[in-house]
Amino acid sequence: MNRPVVGIIGNSYMMNDRFPVHAGGTINSSAVAEVARCLPLVIPTDPRFVSVAELLEVCDGFMLTGGRPNVHPEEYGEEPTEAHGAFDRARDAITLPLIRACIDRGQPFIGICRGFQEVNVALGGTLHPEIRELPGRTNHRMPPDATLEEQFALRHAVTFREGGVFHRLLGTTRVMTNTLHGQGLKRIAAGVDVEGFADDGTPEALVVRGAPGFTLSVQWHPEWNAANDPVSRPLFEAFGAAVAAWAGRGRIRRSA
């Protein structure tokens, strides 16, 4: 039987500073293929090439990846500033309606870093452009000149709501995670339940309240070392099970 398909949201880059590409990190594909046990499919996230309706039919679930460009503040009613950094409006045009459609359909997705922020924006929330400038917050950005292993090292704790979805899935209310982000959630969308916080109060884990499908999303990068990390592995295994269940229902519908 064919593996369920997970659409991995691709990011736009300039290769050699001149050639535009859509790309997805190998660690994303590894987490999807080796832990979630699904077929990874990198999406050219641009409405010139794909539509939300097509993606919903081709893919069984979605990985909303991290990426250097940020959600454009116009998507949550604010003016862009230098602090907001670079943008990818084409990705905004696909991912935000895709998130809302997945929630309505019960189609599973996992949000990571920028993807975590996209879920909040898609449902009406807002973002801080630079959380390290907020009183009492620490610097959640990666050390820029470090090795990959140092950048993705476990650097702070996240505490989950007791009895929540993350607590039940992971069997603990406190874990260590990596941290590689500058922006963070500001106004929490009405449909979002934040279940995990860093010690400085930064939101780190969420679910969509009342959603019929898998919507677990995190501010850190669980795709790094996903097969061996005790937090990442159960997260991706649960995501894979949700995607497989959705795919199974689709096969039943198509054969009926």
Give φ, ψ of 213 to 5 degrees: -120, -175
Give me the catalytic one of 84, 128, 167, 221. Answer: 221
| 84 is annotated as an active-site residue | no
Beta bridge partners of 217: 111, 206
User: Which of 113, 167, 195, 204 is the catalytic position?
Assistant: 113
Catalytic residue among 118, 195, 204, 223, which?
223
Does residue 59 carry a catalytic annotation?
A: no
Catalytic annotation present for 149: no
Catalytic residues: 113, 221, 223
